[in-house]
Structure 1
Amino acid sequence: MKIFIVIFLLCLPSQIMAAVLLNGNTIEYTGDITDAQNTRFKDLLDSNIERITSISITSGGGNINAGMDLAELIFKNQLDIIIPTFCFSSCANYLIPAASNKTFGTNAVIGWHGDAASARWRDADIDAMVSSLTGKEKQAKWLALRAHYDQVIEQAKERETALYKKWRVNPDIMRLGLKGNVKDAVLANKARGWTYSVDAMAFFGISNLPPSDSWQPKSTSSFPLIIVNHIQ
């Protein structure tokens, strides 16, 4: 498989305020993907079920399972997705493949940085959680937390695999930048992750994408991404 990458930068506002609002036939979802935001989304959807046709989202991602919860609502209700400016991490991983038709703003930045398996808690993270404990109590708590978080990730991986199978999309779209020359480019350029052209997204099975002359993948000075233009 040959991968063609390029790097260029634009500017992008960095702060995203959290809100879930109804605007005509669209629910506008901004900020982190969370259980609370999803509850608001579902309430609006349920109370306007005959009216809602799309979700417009601006998000840097959020909790893995919250992302999959939102994706399942989108898929079940056959909603279109509109990405005006920014969609990263869980937003790109789950909402784009789950949605029906996709519309991207001309300057929208869309990026990936790994799948559920790559979100594994580091030992250092658990060390910080038990730093106030000592002796056998600290050791027991550390081992319990390690087992708990490993189980959380295993369950998320299984759910993620099942969803991608249902969506008929290749989950490698979430993993390409974790290995090979894309990973090398990410590390060399201190990028936050990677992004794809419309053709490259289609390679993985993403359908109903916008025409390539209406949107091109982008990176920003404050949020650098490696751009994957073609995969052969």
Structure 2
Amino acid sequence: MQRILKKIVIISMGSLLLLQPSVVFSATKPLLNSEMIQNKYGSYGVKVLKKTPTLRVSKLYSTHDGKEIARTLAFVIFPKVIDERVREEHVLITEKSQSIGSTFKQRGWIVQKQNRYFGMRPEIPKNVRQLMGGIEDQPLVLHIYELSVEQEGKKIHYCTIAELHHPDYLTTKKLKKIYGKHTEISAPHTISLDEILKLVDAELEKITVLFQEAKFDFQAEKATITKNGKVVRYIGTMSDENVQRLLKETEGQKIKKLIISSSGGETCSAIEFGFWVAKNKIDVDVERACLSSCANYVFPAAKKKKIYQHAVVAWHGNMRQKDLLSEVELKKYAQEMFKSMPADERKLLGNSNALFQKMKTHTEFCRTREDEFFKLVGVDEYVCRIGNEKYDAQGFFFMSKNDMEHFGIKNISMPKNYEKTNLDEFRKRAPFDFIRLQH
């Protein structure tokens, strides 16, 4: 990946101008980030993602439907030696993970920001966009400033801060409005602008939502469904209840992208999920895993498909697989299942044959819907079972981009060396084999 933050730009009179390193003062004292986020979104929190003696990386977030959405990613660079006059505040900030601005304000300090740089960051890593609620790939404003505190006429430089802002929270235009006209002044800095940009570049690439931030319970019975603009994030299994909830919450809306982590689920429900993706021409990003029915029906239905680093798309059969229960086996299964049902449910059904007929009708319906689905998306259903039936895969199997394309699954973006993806976490539950087609 090309080095990020090669340049920062601002938009002026329709042209791109480089903004030279400078320190500017605000015409009026702006609110703290904590205050602005609280005022705009009704909630505020801070969570530290990384901490060293000279660096703190944190997200400043608001909460929506139980989900934390990062409004600002803050990279705080501390001097090697902390002024003793702010030692107590520094301990609260670094050891107790408290907000910088709020901590100083509550203890009677006046917080001052001296701007050094702000402009548009042209390329945003996917993990950062995930922290911000799954926003689309777009330039974000980066703001760099020195933070000082003052009390009883004594001013102390505390740290250097670089902040990357959510587009709904702060833009270049909004920052200009807050800080007024830029005025160059000379001032000593503890770290050069180039060093700051390189540091931010490196730290952004290290942010790994999959392992450091989000909890991917892709086997959750109750799926977590969140929406941010035209992007939907779905984590959990695909039951009828979950899929119907998804359809209801997105009804009448133009959804462009689905970010998903799912272990699969009920066949018919997953097929309807796939129809929704295909008919609405939705792009699908696999955040951690798309297994079983998710791989069968959601992934191939997408207009564009992306598999994130450390993620996997894997199959293990469908409604046409050879080892699907025969009618005799299904009837025997229905008899055993009927015996284990609660008395009131057995009374409602009457006998095991009624249960068998119900299961048989459902199986036939799902098989018909599956045929209709694969015809709609132009994909060979054999992709769902070839690993088990031809290559002796004992559980799940996954394959290369070229082999997926062989079955009609196109417009795929995936990491290099995808076949070497570390699946130790998954293999604790079931076998996962990489297969390569023998043409």
Q: Shorter-chain TM-score: which interval?
A: 0.7 to 0.9
What is the aligned counterpart of 2:233 among 28, 31, 43?
A: 28
Distance in 2 between the 1:214 and 1:79 partners? Answer: 26
SS of 1:107's equivalent in the other structure is coil
The offset of 1:115, in angstroms, is 0.7
Deviations 1:25-52 (A, max 9, x none): 3100110112222233223322532xx2
User: In the alignment, is residue 225 of structure 1 matched against residue 435 of structure 2?
Assistant: no
Question: Which has more radius of gyration?
Answer: 2
The offset of 1:225, in angstroms, is 1.0
User: Which residue identity is paired with 1:65?
Assistant: C
Counterpart position of 1:19? 224
CA contact (8 A) 1:65 1:156 kept: yes
SS of 1:46's equivalent in the other structure is coil
User: In the alignment, is residue 175 of structure 1 matched against residue 385 of structure 2?
Assistant: yes
SS of 1:230's equivalent in the other structure is coil
The offset of 1:109, in angstroms, is 1.9
Equivalences for residues 53-68 of structure 1 within 5 A: 53-68=256-271
Select the structure with the greater relative contact order (CA < 8 A; seq sep ≥ 6). Answer: 1
CA contact (8 A) 1:200 1:231 kept: no
User: Which residue identity is paired with 2:298?
Assistant: L
CA contact (8 A) 1:117 1:154 kept: no
User: In the alignment, is residue 130 of structure 1 matched against residue 339 of structure 2?
Assistant: yes
Distance in 1 between the 2:410 and 2:233 partners? Answer: 22
User: Which residue identity is paired with 2:244?
Assistant: T
> 5+ unaligned residues in a row in structure 2: which ranges?
1-210
Identity %: 24
Counterpart position of 1:213? 416
The offset of 1:214, in angstroms, is 7.2
The offset of 1:148, in angstroms, is 2.0
Distance in 1 between the 2:416 and 2:247 partners? Answer: 34
Counterpart position of 1:201? 404
SS of 2:351's equivalent in the other structure is helix
CA contact (8 A) 1:199 1:230 kept: no
Distance in 2 between the 1:173 and 1:153 partners? Answer: 20
Distance in 2 between the 1:105 and 1:172 partners? Answer: 24
CA contact (8 A) 2:338 2:351 kept: no
CA contact (8 A) 2:288 2:311 kept: yes
SS of 1:110's equivalent in the other structure is strand
CA distance change for structure 1 residues 177 and 106 in 2, over 3 Å: closer, same or farther? same
TM-score by length of 1: 0.78
CA distance change for structure 1 residues 174 and 217 in 2, over 3 Å: closer, same or farther? farther
Distance in 1 between the 2:411 and 2:419 partners? Answer: 15
The offset of 1:227, in angstroms, is 0.8
CA contact (8 A) 2:263 2:291 kept: yes
User: Which structure: greater helix fraction?
Assistant: 1
Deviations 1:102-128 (A, max 9, x none): 011111121111112445475346413
Counterpart position of 1:88? 291
The offset of 1:21, in angstroms, is 0.4
Distance in 2 between the 1:63 and 1:211 partners? Answer: 27
The offset of 1:231, in angstroms, is 3.7
* RMSD between aligned residues: 2.6
User: In the alignment, is residue 143 of structure 1 matched against residue 353 of structure 2?
Assistant: yes
User: In the alignment, is residue 108 of structure 1 matched against residue 318 of structure 2?
Assistant: no
CA distance change for structure 1 residues 231 and 56 in 2, over 3 Å: closer, same or farther? farther
CA contact (8 A) 2:234 2:261 kept: yes
The offset of 1:161, in angstroms, is 0.9
CA contact (8 A) 2:265 2:292 kept: yes
Deviations 1:131-169 (A, max 9, x none): 478xxx9xx722222222122111111111111111111
CA distance change for structure 1 residues 20 and 174 in 2, over 3 Å: closer, same or farther? same
User: Which residue identity is paired with 1:128?
Assistant: M
TM-score by length of 2: 0.43
Distance in 1 between the 2:272 and 2:386 partners? Answer: 24
CA distance change for structure 1 residues 217 and 92 in 2, over 3 Å: closer, same or farther? farther
Distance in 1 between the 2:356 and 2:285 partners? Answer: 38
User: In the alignment, is residue 37 of structure 1 matched against residue 242 of structure 2?
Assistant: yes
Deviations 1:180-208 (A, max 9, x none): 3x22x41xxxxx32111111111111011
CA contact (8 A) 1:197 1:217 kept: no
SS of 1:206's equivalent in the other structure is coil
SS of 1:106's equivalent in the other structure is coil
Distance in 1 between the 2:274 and 2:235 partners? Answer: 15
Counterpart position of 1:152? 362
Which stretch shows the higher mean deviation, 217-226 or 24-33?
217-226
Distance in 2 between the 1:146 and 1:228 partners? Answer: 36
The offset of 1:23, in angstroms, is 2.5
Distance in 1 between the 2:358 and 2:272 partners? Answer: 21
Distance in 1 between the 2:320 and 2:359 partners? Answer: 11
Counterpart position of 1:6? none
